[in-house]
Amino acid sequence: EVQLSESGGGLVRPGGSLRLSCEASGFTFGIFTMSWVRQAPGKGLEWVSVLDNSGEVTYYADSVKGRFTISRDNSRNAMFLQMNSLRTDDTAVYFCARIGISGIFDIWGQGTTLTVSS
Amino acid sequence: EIVLTQSPGTLSLSPGERATLSCRASQSVSSEYFAWYRQKAGQAPRLLIYAASNRATGIPDRFSGSGSGTDFTLTISRLEPEDFAVYYCQQYGNGNSPRYSFGQGTRLEI
């Protein structure tokens, strides 16, 4: 079964750091572009970052650029999101998602929750 | 940046009825890069429609997508109880840097 599973969420003080992980199974992870999408409480979906299959090409939403770093380890079928200088408006459920054909998110994980609060 | 605006914000219908959800883009987008998702309460989104009109794997034929340019529509022909959820449209822009935009969502309620 094709699956994505996030972990690493938690409660962090403003200005703090956290690293999220996404583990993939059931498909050839190393050939797919992967992404993070977040959803603030009661809000819609916001794309955060994307990473090509090699891990060499990355892009970020303006709201996280310079603070978040996306990476992957194809040998472990895993993707990561290092989040620094966290702000209260980073509070959200963070989903990892596989990018399928034509830039659509065809597989989603169940999400992991980040709360940034003092 | 392309902005997607969904309407209505909330749609109140009953099981068995037909639902029509709209998504309008602030500028023309390629149908190839347009999708619809359903998000049930407390769950991750699920891909319903890709390339504006193609059903994703496992999606029943009561779901259909149409449209081009700036106006896209998701139609659910006969609502089932599990269809009462939030629906998002999404487009991918492959310019100098990729951009993935979502609409704000339409809540479909009983």
Query: What is A21-49 written as a DSSP string?
Result: EEEEESS-GGGSEEEEEEE-TT--EEEEE
pLDDT for res A40: 98
Residues of B whose CB is below 8 A from A46: 102
User: How far, in Å, CA of B70 to CA of B24, rounded?
Assistant: 5
User: How far, in Å, CA of B44 to CA of A97, rounded?
Assistant: 10
pLDDT for res A102: 86
When pLDDT is averaged across residues B71-93 and rounded to a whole number, the result is 95
CB contact under 8 A, A103 and B104: no
CB contact under 8 A, B102 and A46: yes
Residue type (1 letter), B52: A
The beta-carbon neighbor of A45 closest among B45, B51, B98 is B45
Listed residue (A9, A69, A19, A67) closest to A39, CA to CA: A9
Give B57-104 as a DSSP string.
Answer: TT--TTEEEEEEEEEEEEEESS--GGG-SEEEEEEEEESSSEEEEE--
When pLDDT is averaged across residues B79-108 and rounded to a whole number, the result is 92
**Quick check: B47 pLDDT over 90?**
yes
CB contact under 8 A, A104 and B92: yes
When pLDDT is averaged across residues A45-61 and rounded to a whole number, the result is 95
Each residue's pLDDT tens digit, A72-100: 999 999 999 999 999 999 999 999 999 99
pLDDT for res A103: 87
Each residue's pLDDT tens digit, A11-32: 999 999 999 999 999 999 999 9
Size of interface A-B (CB pairs under 8 A): 62
pLDDT for res A101: 83
User: How far, in Å, CA of B8 to CA of B10, rounded?
Assistant: 5
B47, B56 Cβ separation under 8 angstroms: yes
User: How far, in Å, CA of B83 to CA of B81, rounded?
Assistant: 5
Q: What are residue B19's DSSP bridge partners?
A: B76
